[in-house]
Amino acid sequence: DVKVTQSSRYLVKRTGEKVFLECVQDMDHENMFWYRQDPGLGLRLIYFSYDVKMKEKGDIPEGYSVSREKKERFSLILESASTNQTSMYLCASSWGRDEQYFGPGTRLTVT
Amino acid sequence: AQRVTQPEKLLSVFKGAPVELKCNYSYSGSPELFWYVQYSRQRLQLLLRHISRESIKGFTADLNKGETSFHLKKPFAQEEDSAMYYCALSPTQGGSEKLVFGKGTKLTVNP
């Protein structure tokens, strides 16, 4: 079974803090993704990585950065958290155009 | 630009009734289309993809290129079908392995 894990289920941070969200997959997938999931807005792609150290901006990259130093790990970084970044963050991985496998999500609250 | 539209945010049916979740897409080429589902407190997962032409949990979806639609149907809804459903498109041209998601439809099946 493909397993995608995320470092935290719930996270509460203060405005201005630097926030790290970690995602690890155990199936040697080449592609990894970070999404935001908001009610009424669906899933929006923040960043996509198709190989180690390779990344591509998604639809809403502003305020975020990513790091992929190892194939199995994809980190999302909020350089200076703001209240409008309060959301559910989903990580996913895939082989090529195959099915995307999702993690359980991290619910981030920025106060 | 690629776009996926799910016109209903909420859909409520009674157990045993037919259900249809609508999905329309905008894409100039021949896309790959998917339905993903998220049950309460579970991670997002693939329900079905049009190229496999399978029926999963009684659900089917047919790609209608003329109407650019990929509606999800089930003849007799069950309470356990209550979930959030997302339609997604994978562009087959341009080499991208990203998915474009609709905003989702929340299905409630009442007893």
pLDDT at B96: 65
Tell me if A41 and B103 make a contact (CB, 8 A cut-off).
Answer: yes
Tell me if A97 and B32 make a contact (CB, 8 A cut-off).
Answer: yes
Report the pLDDT averaged over residues B65-82. 95
Interface of A with B in 21-40 (CB under 8 A): 31, 33, 40
pLDDT at B94: 58
Report the pLDDT averaged over residues B31-49. 93
Picking from A79, A102, A104, A73, the residue whose alpha carbon sits closest to that of residue A13 is: A79
Distance from CA of A61 to the nearest CA of B (A): 15
For residue B75, is pLDDT > 70?
Answer: yes
Distance from CA of A106 to the nearest CA of B (A): 11
pLDDT at A2: 63
Tell me if B97 and A97 make a contact (CB, 8 A cut-off).
Answer: yes
What average pLDDT is seen over chain B? 91
How far, in whole angstroms, is CA B43 from its chain's centroid?
16
A104: which chain B residues are within 8 Å (Cβ-Cβ)? Answer: 43
Report the pLDDT averaged over residues B27-42. 90
Return the minimum-mean-pLDDT range out of A26-35, A59-68, B16-25, B85-94.
B85-94
Tell me if B46 and A45 make a contact (CB, 8 A cut-off).
Answer: no
Tell me if B86 and A43 make a contact (CB, 8 A cut-off).
Answer: yes
**Bridging pattern class, strands B10-14 and B105-110:** parallel
Separation CA A65–CA A78 (nearest Å): 7
Tell me if A31 and B44 make a contact (CB, 8 A cut-off).
Answer: no
Query: In chain B, pLDDT over 70 holds for what percent of residues?
Result: 96
| pLDDT bucket at B65, cuts 50 / 70 / 90 | confident
Burial B41-80 (b: 16+ CB within 10 A, else e): eeebebbbbeeeeeeeeebebebeeeeebbbbebeebeee
Please give the single-letter amino acid code of residue B70: F
* Residue B64 DSSP one-character state: B
For residue A87, is pLDDT > 90?
Answer: yes
| pLDDT bucket at B45, cuts 50 / 70 / 90 | very high
| pLDDT bucket at B29, cuts 50 / 70 / 90 | confident
A50: which chain B residues are within 8 Å (Cβ-Cβ)? Answer: 97
Report the pLDDT averaged over residues B10-14. 97
Separation CA B66–CA A97 (nearest Å): 24
CB pairs under 8 A between A and B: 45
Cβ contact A90:B44 at 8 Å? yes
Cβ contact B56:B48 at 8 Å? yes
For residue B95, is pLDDT > 60?
Answer: no
- The burial of A28, by beta-carbon neighbours within 10 Å (0-12 exposed, 13-18 middle, 19 or more buried), is given as exposed
* Residue A20 DSSP one-character state: E
Please give the single-letter amino acid code of residue A46: I
For residue A65, is pLDDT > 90?
Answer: yes
For residue A17, is pLDDT > 90?
Answer: yes
Backbone angles phi, psi at B67, to 5 degrees: -95, 0
